[in-house]
């Protein structure tokens, strides 16, 4: 009997790379230029995983045109890349985990709310793109997380069903998006503590980094959730 295609789907920011503090710094600086004071922790919890134009609309108003939003996105993301470039690196254990997954014929995908320039900055800047069977970003879907669109498209492009796909995330909105997609989730505590994810029934494992994870063990966890999700 042929085994169903399995997939690991990775959020990028805060998961493949530990960069969310730099995103937050760039957002705070961006809003400060416009006279807005934003609480860093509250901002992360409310926005991590959302697309840039969604964040702009929420904080600056829905009156922005598509062109105005694009220019503001460019300003903010340019600031982020300037801040993070000297620190760019994968999270501990990532390279070993994806090598182990590939040896077991697990498909690999990136599913991120990041714009294309940031995907290039991270994946190409770290020579990672060639490891992935699919890369899905903000330009590929209409809605950001917690909507499941980006994860469902990534799984589809990998040829894997949701119940055979495991998402790696660092943010509650991303874990919720995985839940809505019918996918199990592994949480990395690069940005928030484990308690921030206590409400999610699709979280099968919480780890500090990828070195604590085992490929086959992960697919054996959360079987009940996967079976239930596949029937919905």
What's the pLDDT tens digit per position in 182-211?
999 999 999 899 999 999 999 999 999 999
Catalytic residue among 11, 73, 133, 170: 11
Report the C-alpha gap between 138 and 150 in whole angstroms: 8
Sequence ranges of the chain with CATH classification 3.40.50.1000: 7-18+89-229
Catalytic residue among 13, 133, 149, 170: 13
Report the C-alpha gap between 80 and 215 in whole angstroms: 32
Chain length of the chain: 232
Question: What average pLDDT does the chain have?
Answer: 92
Instruction: Output the pTM of the full model.
Output: 0.86
Following DSSP, what letter does each residue of the chain receive, concatenated?
Answer: -PPPP-EEEE-TBTTTB--HHHHHHHHHHHHHTTT----HHHHHHHHTTS-HHHHHHHHH-TT--HHHHHHHHHHHHHHHHHHHGGG--BPTTHHHHHHHHHHTT-EEEEE-S--HHHHIIIIITTT-GGG-SEEE-GGG-SS-TTSSHHHHHHHHHHT--GGGEEEEESSHHHHHHHHHTT-EEEEETTSS-GGGGTT-TTEEEEESSGGG--HHHHHHTTHHHHHHHTT-
Query: Who wins on pLDDT, 173 or 45?
Result: 173
For 42-74, the pLDDT digits (tens) are 887 777 777 877 888 878 877 888 788 888 889
- Tokens describing residue 130: 């060639």
Report the C-alpha gap between 104 and 96 in whole angstroms: 13
> Known catalytic residue: 11?
yes
CATH pick for 7-18+89-229 out of 3.10.530.10, 3.90.226.10, 3.30.9.10, 3.40.50.1000: 3.40.50.1000
pLDDT value of position 1: 54
**Calculated CA dihedral for residues 206, 211, 216, 217, nearest 10 degrees:** -40
Sequence ranges of the chain with CATH classification 1.10.150.240: 20-86
> Known catalytic residue: 13?
yes
pLDDT value of position 58: 79
For 96-132, the pLDDT digits (tens) are 999 999 999 999 999 999 999 999 999 999 999 999 9
Give the residue carrying structure tokens 């604590």: 212
pLDDT value of position 177: 97
Give the residue carrying structure tokens 């996918």: 183
Which of 29, 10, 38, 30 is CA-nearest to residue 171? 10
**159: alpha, beta or left, given left = phi > 0 and alpha = psi -120 to 50?**
left
Domain 20-86 matching CATH 1.10.150.240: the answer reads: yes
pLDDT value of position 231: 56
pLDDT value of position 43: 81
Candidate from 40-44, 86-90, 228-232 with smallest mean pLDDT: 228-232
């Amino acid at each position: 009997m042929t085994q169903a295609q399995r997939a690991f789907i990775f959020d990028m920011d805060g998961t493949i790379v530990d960069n969310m503090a730099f995103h937050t710094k760039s957002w705070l600086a961006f809003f400060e230029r416009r006279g807005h004071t934003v609480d860093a922790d509250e901002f992360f919890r409310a926005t991590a995983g959302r697309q840039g134009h969604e964040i702009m609309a929420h904080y600056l108003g829905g009156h922005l045109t598509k062109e105005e939003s694009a220019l503001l996105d460019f300003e903010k993301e340019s600031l982020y890349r300037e801040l993070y470039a000297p620190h760019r690196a994968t999270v501990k254990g990532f390279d070993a985990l994806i090598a182990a997954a590939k040896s077991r014929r697990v498909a690999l995908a990136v599913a991120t709310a990041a714009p294309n320039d940031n995907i290039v900055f991270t994946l190409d800047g770290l020579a990672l793109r060639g490891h992935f069977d699919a890369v899905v970003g903000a330009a590929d879907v209409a809605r950001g997380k917690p909507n499941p669109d980006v994860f469902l498209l990534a799984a589809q492009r990998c040829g894997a069903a949701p119940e055979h796909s495991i998402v790696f995330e660092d943010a509650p909105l991303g874990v919720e998006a995985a839940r809505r997609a019918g996918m199990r989730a592994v949480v990395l505590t690069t940005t928030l503590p484990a308690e921030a994810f206590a409400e999610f029934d699709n979280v099968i494992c919480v780890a500090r980094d990828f070195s604590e994870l085992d490929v086959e063990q992960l697919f054996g966890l959360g079987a009940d959730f996967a079976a239930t999700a596949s029937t919905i």
